[in-house]
């Protein structure tokens, strides 16, 4: 979710690597955000998001994977995405 409550979805999860039968997401994956209610003033509602930190030693398809503590930024307003769904079976750094 964006910081305002909009729903964020990855545009292209990695289909070749799964955890608990769900595809993982890597650093280069963009997110689209729907329903951001931040429309009352500038800046504008969140439209897309991208993570800016990820695992340092775990990759999939040559890209670093996202972790529960990965940091992100939304455009056009610079607020973060909040990770609300995750799996706890695998851990990484």
SS3 for 23? strand
Q: What is the pLDDT of residue 93?
A: 61
Distance CA 3, CA 90 (A): 26
93 in a structural domain: no
69 in a structural domain: yes
64 in a structural domain: yes
55 in a structural domain: yes
Going residue by residue through the chain, which has 93 residues, state the pLDDT in tens, using 9 for 90 and above. Answer: 999 999 999 999 998 998 888 889 999 999 999 999 987 767 689 999 999 999 999 999 999 999 999 999 999 999 999 998 877 666 666
Q: Domain total for the chain?
A: 1
1 in a structural domain: no
Entry pTM: 0.86
11 in a structural domain: yes
**Residues 89, 4, 2, 77, Cα dihedral to 10°:** -150
Domain that holds residue 53: 7-75
Q: What is the pLDDT of residue 59?
A: 93
CA 27-28-31 angle, to 5 degrees, is: 95
């Amino acid at each position: 979710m964006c910081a305002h409550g909009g729903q964020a979805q990855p545009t292209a999860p990695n289909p070749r690597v799964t955890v608990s039968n769900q595809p993982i997401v890597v650093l280069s994956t963009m997110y689209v955000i729907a329903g951001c209610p931040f429309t009352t003033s500038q800046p504008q509602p969140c439209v897309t998001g991208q993570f800016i930190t990820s695992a340092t030693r775990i990759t999939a398809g040559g890209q670093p994977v996202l972790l529960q503590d990965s940091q992100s930024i939304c455009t056009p307003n610079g607020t973060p995405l909040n990770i609300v769904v995750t799996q706890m079976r695998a851990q990484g750094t």
